[in-house]
Amino acid sequence: MSYIRERCSQKSYSDVERCYLGIRLITNFIRKYELPVDIYQYIWKIYSLESAVNGRSKIYYGDIREIIAEKNRSTDMAPMENHKGIFDLYYVYQDQLAKNELDLNVIEEIFSRPETEKMLADRHFIYDTLFYWIAMPQHLVFLKKLHDFYIHHGNVFRLKEILARIEKREKEVYAENALKEDEADQNYSLCTINHRPFLRYWLNIGFYRAINFSNVLKKNLIFSEEWAKCFADQKYRLLLLKYKNKDIQIKLHRRYAEYVHGGKTVYKPFIQWYALENIEDDTLLFLLLPAVVPFVDDEKTYDMVLACIKKHLQNATLTEENITQLSEGIIKMLFCGRFLGEEIDDEEAVNECDCNASEIYRESETNLYVCRWSKYSHALCFYEQKLYDRDLMPNGIYENILTETEAVSLARELLTAQCAKTVADISYLRIMPEYMSIQPYGAKAEICTGDKITEDAILDALDRFSKSEIKRMELKWLQEEVVLINSDNKCACFWFHDKKYTTCKLLYDEEVYCTVDSKYVTYSPFLLGKLADYEIFRSPRLLVMKLCPLLFQFGEGNLIETRVNGIYVWSQNVYLYGKYDAYLVDKMKFGGYPPEKIITDFNKRRKFIIPKFPAFMEAARENGEKQKIVLKPTTKDQLQMTLQMYLQGSVKYLHLCWDMKADDNIYQTHLFLLQENRKYALYYLNDQRMAASSLIGSLDEYLKPEGQSPILELCGVPMHLYSVHHDIIRIRFFLSLLLDSIENPEQILNKVGEFVDGTRVYKQFMTYDELYHKLMGIG
């Protein structure tokens, strides 16, 4: 190794010379074996053997040149002749083609020259120029001339590849020309499959459910979006036929179509095949095919349907190849994604729940979106629909959507918000805020104050929030704050009044808020608490659209009106406890504020909100004995007093124990508060799960590599340094949350960077039972 380091480290070698040993190997290989002419020609080209007649090139490549020249005396290895006259004509042809002023006589002159035949057969021309020419914009006449030449010259080098390239390019140019002709076609009323612009339009926008369509469509059947603009005003409705005594209509849009049956829009296949099998009109059949209910795996039906589809496609302006490919795509759509008898690995991927799902479409100026709902998975998926595939939108899966009515309602909201021309509008804002905070994902908060808060800055922040680029946005006036939160695909907006201790929440569904009895309202987890479902938005765009017209309410220091123009827009909390204390808990749970912004000297020693009182408590003062007190209505004030004494530092140990019930089993949960020499710790223990959690005091200490955080003792209990708190602020903050949510504290305990799993930490040197007895033995 020392030899290699000494002679090879920091050495640089020129990469312009070829490896001489490699050249000798190639030379011996060529000398020993008889190779095809193509190989000799290729080697001659890449080594530039025509110039290897003197100097260094001759030393390296002279032997190879002599061997190849000897073995291929009949082959012309000389450089290609200079066909300047032909190339000058070709450049004239290309210039005229680009200006749309082509004179076909130029093409005739190119191919009528006597030297053209020799040039087209020359290997150097084929290597260097021909394939480049084929790929360039070309006229069909030019490609036809090329094709005819190579058809009649069967001994040309790489003939099969040349013909394949020309034929492929002919198809592409034909499709490009057809697209241009379609764009120039102004006959929008001729909606039949015999009319090529409409046929291509319908095949592209009517069969998004079909499989294996994309290849044939994008190769040969691209439709003209310019021609389809005639459907942008959504006035095109075609009456197709009566089905079950109700009219079926189809509404044509630029990029999608909707079916209307009996005056109601239908979002999934609803027509049985028997209603179509006797239809003679080709156009009518194809307009109804996407609405046919998929079949079971039946051989007789399969053959009949396939024959019917092919029969009706014969009259369209399609090639036989296209007819076969389109028929296969449609038959797979009608038979749940497979051919008859085709084996599949995942039955659920092609069963009825997938091929018969509801799909709701909406288009903006530039894009098309679709929401797809399955009654089996009860999930609604939100996509951007491309011509030949679809992309799932960020956070685009919405679960627990139980009915189609609920799915359609949610889909309309998502699609309306997504397709809105403008989302954020701050023209309603009367008074500029004094402070603005933006919290992007995975980055530090961006804070603006004073003159830096401009209309453009607020507009940009709202726009970023609507695009899910930031997770929290705060606007603050002298006495008011508006906070927008995006958490785990759920969004909500809160208004806090810091002087009147009031919280209001923006309503997502005012109808449920006004009409449903509170005992039937469903609640969902949100940040560190629970919100009513009518206060949770599924789309940040929708939240911003609903908030912007209400910006006029902020900044004057008054309580905002919960109704605007007679419609409820805000829900205002009805507090069961002290108004100020409940307001603080709301800010802790939903505001996304750090503890130091909530806990101040003014409110640090306020009463705690305790919906469920413990069964008993145990407390010990400094140098005092532990006392156990069973909590009754007459001793509840004693609990509040003991908690305040702990916050003041006069209680070193406090144990609160709750009796919980789950599945007829009684178990206990515990909160332990420790204090020694102005150092604090908080533990939560659950006897049923044998789980212990401790509140992190220092995140920097916690993020150190495992084993680097020292272990110390507090009140005789060993713990890591990151579990020790040097002030009471975080203890007070999370103690309030735990006491308020003691029956279901998982949201708080599972918050990343706040609690550490005590069992995992301590199993290095003590079990759950050992920790429990250590904590119980204090005092």
**DSSP one-letter string for 10-77:** T----SSSPPHHHHHHHHHHHHHS---HHHHHHHHHHTTGGGTTSHHHHHHHHHHHHHHHHHTTTS--
Residue range 552-601, pLDDT digits in tens:
999 988 889 988 888 899 998 665 556 787 788 888 889 888 888 888 87
Q: Give the predicted TM-score (pTM) of the model.
A: 0.63
In this predicted structure, the answer to whether residue 64 has a pLDDT above a threshold of 80 is: yes
Q: Which residues contact 447 (CB under 8 A, 6 or more apart)?
A: 435, 436, 437, 438
Residue type, 655: H
Buried b (16+ CB within 10 A) or exposed e, 77-97: beebeebeebeebbeebbebb
Q: Tokens 């209001």 belong to which residue?
A: 504
> What is the CB neighbour count within 10 angstroms for residue 144?
14
d(CA 371, CA 396): 9
Q: Is the pLDDT of residue 234 over 60?
A: no
Return the beta strands (E) in 700-770 as ranges: 711-714, 717-720, 755-757
Looking at residues 448-452, what average pLDDT do you find?
Answer: 90
What are the structure tokens assigned to 425, written together? Answer: 């509008």
Residue 657 pLDDT > 80:
yes
CA distances for 317 relative to 178, 221, 314, angstroms: 11, 11, 8
Residue 51, both tokens: 């110039």
327 pLDDT more than 50: yes
Q: What is the pLDDT of residue 190?
A: 67
DSSP state of 751: S
Q: What tens digit of pLDDT does each residue of 236-245 get?
A: 667 677 787 8
Per-residue confidence at 2, pLDDT binned at 50, 70, 90? Answer: very low
Tokens linked to 10: 């920091």
Using only C-alpha atoms, what is the Rg of the chain?
A: 38
Query: Closest by alpha carbon to 182, among 241, 153, 121, 225?
Result: 225
Residues near 777 by Cβ (< 8 Å), separated by ≥ 6?
Answer: 716
Which two three-digit tokens encode residue 329?
């795509």
Q: Average pLDDT, stretch 180-191?
A: 63
Residue 779 per-residue DSSP state:
-
Provide the sign of the torsion angle of the four alpha carbons 559, 565, 568, 570, taken in this order. negative
Average pLDDT over residues 341-347: 44
Read off the pLDDT of each residue in 285-301 and give the average, rounded to a whole number.
78
Average pLDDT score, the chain = 82
Give the rounded percent of residues in the chain with a pLDDT score beyond 70: 87
Write the pLDDT tens digit of every residue in 738-769: 998 898 898 899 888 899 876 655 446 678 88
Average pLDDT over residues 632-640: 86
> Tell me: the pLDDT tens digits for 686-702?
999 888 999 999 988 88
> 3-class DSSP state for residue 526?
strand
Q: Does position 136 have pLDDT exceeding 60, yes or no?
A: yes
Distance CA 570, CA 503 (A): 10
Alpha-carbon gap, residue 268 to 293, rounded angstroms: 8
Rounded to an integer, what distance in angstroms lies between the CA atom of residue 339 and that of residue 671? 63
Residue listed under structure tokens 């001339």: 145
Alpha carbons 609 and 586: distance in angstroms, whole number = 11
Residue in 682, 669, 673 with CA at minimum distance from that of residue 645: 673
In 353-499, where do the E strands start and end? 358-363, 368-374, 379-385, 390-399, 435-440, 446-449, 470-476, 480-487, 490-497
Indicate whether 223 pLDDT > 80.
no
What's the CA angle centered on 587, arms 585 and 590, to 5 degrees? 100
CA distance linking residue 550 with residue 494, whole number of Å: 13
Lowest mean pLDDT among 8-22, 232-246, 726-740: 8-22
Cα separation of the two ends of the chain: 66
Contacts (Cβ under 8 Å, ≥6 apart) of 700: none
Residue of 355 and 662 predicted with greater confidence: 662
CA dihedral 181, 184, 188, 191 (to 10 degrees): 0
Residue 16 has pLDDT above 50, yes or no: no
Token digits of residue 671: 């909160």
Q: How far apart are CA 484 and CA 540, in angstroms?
A: 9
Distance CA 283, CA 195 (A): 10
Cβ distance 551 to 426 under 8 Å?
yes
DSSP at 127: I
Does residue 668 have a pLDDT over 90? yes
> Which tokens hold the place of 82?
């200079």
Q: Cβ distance 193 to 316 under 8 Å?
A: yes
Confidence grade of residue 482 (pLDDT, cut at 50, 70, 90):
very high
Residue 626 pLDDT greater than 80, yes or no: yes
Q: Report the pLDDT value the prediction gives residue 350, as an integer from 0 to 100.
A: 43
Amino acid identity, residue 383? Y
Higher pLDDT residue, 408 or 209?
408
pLDDT of residue 341: 42
Q: What is the per-residue pLDDT for 7?
A: 47
Distance CA 600, CA 620 (A): 26
Q: Which two tokens stand for residue 302?
A: 């399969």
3-state secondary structure of 364: coil
- Collapsing DSSP to helix, strand or coil, 511 comes out as helix
Q: How far is CA 587 from CA 217, 228, 502, 601, 736, in A?
A: 55, 52, 10, 17, 11
pLDDT at 73 exceeding the cut of 70: no
